[in-house]
Amino acid sequence: MSTWRTSASFWVVVGDGRARWAATDRACAGIMGHVAERNGDQRPGPDEQQDGEQPPGTAIEPAYPAPPAHPAQPTPPIQPPGQYAQQPAADLDAEQLRQFQQFQQFQDFLRYNEAQRQAGGDMVPQPTQQPAPPYPQGGPPAPPGPPPQLVPVAPQEPPRRRKVPRWLRRLAAKLLGWVIVLVILGLAANWAYDRIFGVENEDLPASMTGGGTYKTNDLLSDLPYEAVRQVYDAIAQEDPSTGEPPVAQACGRFAEAVQQRFAVNLGYADCKQAVLALHTDVTDINDYAESIPSSVSEPVSSETIRIDSCDFDIAGGPALGVFTVSQVELGQWLITGHEPGPRTCPAPTSTSR
């Protein structure tokens, strides 16, 4: 069963193909009269006209509210669609009137179909004008779909670094190994060269240049007493950069074999410790540095001279014993021997100078 609805009535099509009309209390009188007035080509057939109804083609005025002097017209009774024509109400708008006309066409189609069945026809021809569906041509509007869902985007992985080929890594490891080996060999060769041939530096004493360099370079003093005085001077002075006495200058005035003897005679383990300890006993730098004169009035007649510290006025620090000075290459004087002596000397005699 299908249903078609206007503003005030319901049209029902039952299973046998006949249309039945059910109206409410707002069913309008004179619907078909207004339809005939507005659409002269759509008039009900002669078998559907009711007694007392105006013939087709007669213009019917639209219904207006009756004046107050006359009583209101009663509502006509409900008429079945198969026997009588229906008139549209006067208060229908254009859209409702169009729907009513479409229903009339649909009702004509049902009557035609019923007549064909009764005549025994098997095939029902299609009418020239098909009734319009109750809904617009596009059909009822589709319900709104669900809201779009946001699809989470998977985090993108950072681009991977290109893998270094295995052969290239092996080559780099071999090159690095060779570089390390060459550096080690270079350091070893430099150390061996310095150890064997020594470093020729005129600012260093003979003992610090690997020994024997004073034979070809003028590194020592040209006077025997000056060689001993330089030992006292080095012990008295202090290097500003280290805060210690210049050990190399003090021990460098001795031959390498005599450096250890000098330290032992004064009660120390080596020459360096002896110089550091004696520096702490100095009370006057200038007096102690000039305790031994650079030269004496006596002429030097031999290549080896014995110089006793107590033959001079040692002031500002301890006496350092007896020195043996020998003349070497290039007229230089080197301390080649040492003997212990008192740390505090008695007053010098007149013949000691």
Which of 212-241 are b and which e, b meaning 16 or more Cβ less than 10 Å from the residue's Cβ?
Answer: ebbeebebbbebbbbbbbbbbbbbbbeeee
- Mean local confidence (pLDDT), 100-129: 76
Helix (H, G, I), strand (E, B) or coil at 217: coil
Claim: this prediction has a pTM higher than 0.75: no
More confident residue, 307 or 131: 307
pLDDT at 207: 44
If you count them, how many residues does the chain have? Answer: 353
- Asked, for residue 267, whether it belongs to a domain, the answer is yes
- Asked, for residue 330, whether it belongs to a domain, the answer is yes
pLDDT at 126: 52
Structural domain range at position 279 = 224-339
Encoded tokens for 215: 């034979």
Q: In whole angstroms, what is the distance from residue 100 CA to residue 93 CA?
A: 11
- Asked, for residue 275, whether it belongs to a domain, the answer is yes
pLDDT at 113: 87
pLDDT at 293: 87
pLDDT at 218: 52
- Asked, for residue 194, whether it belongs to a domain, the answer is no
Q: In whole angstroms, what is the distance from residue 126 CA to residue 200 CA?
A: 130
pLDDT at 89: 57
How many domains would you assign to the chain?
Answer: 1
pLDDT band, very low/low/confident/very high, at 270 (cuts 50, 70, 90): very high
- Asked, for residue 97, whether it belongs to a domain, the answer is no
pLDDT at 211: 45
- Asked, for residue 317, whether it belongs to a domain, the answer is yes
pLDDT at 133: 55
pLDDT band, very low/low/confident/very high, at 94 (cuts 50, 70, 90): confident
- Half-sphere exposure of residue 238, counting CA atoms within 13 Å on the CB side? 14
Q: In whole angstroms, what is the distance from residue 86 CA to residue 6 CA?
A: 13
pLDDT at 298: 74
- Asked, for residue 246, whether it belongs to a domain, the answer is yes
- Asked, for residue 159, whether it belongs to a domain, the answer is no
Asked if pLDDT for residue 203 goes beyond 70, the answer is no
Q: In whole angstroms, what is the distance from residue 111 CA to residue 118 CA?
A: 11
pLDDT at 346: 82
pLDDT band, very low/low/confident/very high, at 33 (cuts 50, 70, 90): very low
53-62, 175-184, 258-267, 338-347 — which is least confidently predicted? 53-62
Helix (H, G, I), strand (E, B) or coil at 77: coil
pLDDT at 91: 65
Neighbouring residues of 134: CB distance < 8 A, sequence distance ≥ 6: 4, 99, 102
pLDDT at 154: 66
